[in-house]
Structure formats: structure tokens, C-alpha cells
Amino acid sequence: MITIIGSGKVGGDAALFSALKHLDDQILLLDVVDGLPQGEAMDINHMLSEQGIDVQVTGSNNFADMKGSKIVVVVAGSGRKPGMTRMDLLKINANVVKSVVENIKKYANESMIIPVTNPLDPMAYVTYKSSGFEKNRVFGMGGMLDLSRFRQFIHEATGHSRDSIRALVIGEHGENMLPLPRFSSVSGIPLSSFLSKEKLDEIVQNTKQVAAKVIELKGATVHAPGNAISAIIESVVRDRKQVIPVATYLDGEYGHSDVTIGVPAIIGKKGVEKIIELDLNDEEKQAFDLGVKNVKEAISGMGI
């Protein structure tokens, strides 16, 4: 069973995409709001019935119902409002995540946890430290969402098929994220063969800022994060061993320790099976280190 804690728009979409991909026969939506997960589950099941997809989505307000879950996604917490940064949510959501993790330990102690709650990197750290799980079993969704936006901007700039585009974004899931044009390509051809440095710089800036723009226009980002969650789950349950940027705990990698931040990793049935250390140039390393500094300051402010 896959459990998604938090049945708002992103949690609901994560359940929907996971069901459409048939990632498990049972998907549980959990929420503290009476009726919300039940109604969301009903709505999704009605669609699945028409599609002929035999996945059962259930909704509950009882954490005990997640017993035996193999994967638990944590979306619970307050979302970003227009004008807010992800870090503005820090203190609001830290206590929510701690409480949720205590229930995961109680009822799904053998699971893998995918934190999604913002600010993602500090919340992934809270999840890892509060759970006591091995570090390969806690990995946050951040870079997978960011690279989807990066790919769209590359598509718009080049006109090439989205399917041929490969992109990579690491670092902090926030204003200090690090889109990597040097490690991105179109059918294996470096982006620099298609786009000028000025255009690449513009795409990088747009990738960093577009989430705030979406929130300004429609109030929340929904479909892209929901899909990103399901993509990470798929790599686990089908043991695809995809290289995916996830927020995972560093213990010397990239020259940093005791911090959780986005890095490329091989994701398979054991979770984070290997962290891939890229040979960053001076400019890239400076940007990555700035993200680490920001996340460490946030972690320090929580007093963990």
C-alpha cells in the first residue's frame, strides 16, 4: 500500500497519478480534515472506474489505517501563499511534519518516506532525524519538480520534442536551486549547441522563479508536483534505478555533512541506492554551497 498524508490538491494529484500508473493496488489518502480524504478518494475512484483501472483509493482520518504501507508520502502542512517564500513556512510546518513522522514510526516503521512539505530540504531533514530511519529510506521530492520546469523552458526555447530533452536541477528546492545546463541535453547533444549563454542564463532564472509565478496566477502548484511524486514512487516500486534529483542526507558527499539537500541519486527498490557526485565547476559549486548554507541556517533555526 502507498499512503499519502495530506489530501489537498497536491496529495490528491499524487494519488491520481499513482493510480493511473497502477503503482499499487491500494492507495490511502490520510488527512486530519474530516471528509476531505474520503471525498477525494471517491472522486478518484469514479474516474478509475470509467478507465477500467483496478486500483482502490481509500480516504481516512485514522493514521492506524496506514499500517503496512511500503511508501509514505508526506504532503501535510501549510502551502505557499502568494508573496511567500518556501522558508516562510519553516516554523509552521516543522511541528506538523514531526507529528506526522511519529505516526509513521508507529504504524509504518518499515516504509520509505518521501517528504514533500515545504520548505522541502529542512522538512526532509526533520523527517530523517525524527524517524530514525536509514538515510536511504528518506528522500524528498524537489529537484524532480524543478527539472520538469527546466525541461519546459528548454522545450520552449529550442522547439524540440519534450521527450528528447534531459535536464538536471540540484541544490536547494527554493530560490537557491541550481539548474545545470552543462548536464542537460537534447537527445544527448549539449544545450550549448542549441542555445547561447545569454539564453541559457535566462532559462535558469525563469526556472528559479516560475513556481512563484504559478502561485501568483492560480494560487498553488498542483499537477507538476503531483506527477513528480508519482515518478519517484514509480522508480522505487518498479526498481527502475532512475537517476533522480532528491533531497537526501549528505554524509561527506559534495564536501558537506549533516544536511539534506537535492542531489542526483539512483532510486530503486531500496530507495536511495547511490548518490551521484557531479564534478561541479567553481560557479556551480558556489551556487550549490549557497543552497547548503541556507538550508543549514534553516535547520539551525529549528533547534534540531
Q: Spell out a b/e string for 18-51, using b for 16 or more CB atoms within 10 Å of the CB, else e.
A: bbbbebbeebbbbbeeeebbbebbeebbeebeee
CB 135 within 8 A of CB 249: yes
CB 93 within 8 A of CB 78: yes
> How far, in Å, CA of 41 to CA of 56, rounded?
9
Phi first, then psi, for residue 56 (nearest 5°) are -100, 120
Catalytic residue from among 155, 173, 223, 256: 173
**From the centroid of its chain, how far is CA 111?**
17
Nearest to 247 by CA among 226, 262, 232: 262
Q: How many residues does the chain have?
A: 304
Q: Is 22 a catalytic residue?
A: no
> How far, in Å, CA of 149 to CA of 222, rounded?
13
Phi first, then psi, for residue 32 (nearest 5°) are -85, -15
- The angle at the Cα of 11, spanning 7 to 14, to the nearest 5 degrees, equals 145
Amino acid at 222: V
- The angle at the Cα of 202, spanning 263 to 298, to the nearest 5 degrees, equals 40
Q: Spell out a b/e string for 205-235, using b for 16 or more CB atoms within 10 Å of the CB, else e.
A: ebbbebbbeebeeeeebbebbbbbbbbbbbb
Residues designated catalytic: 173
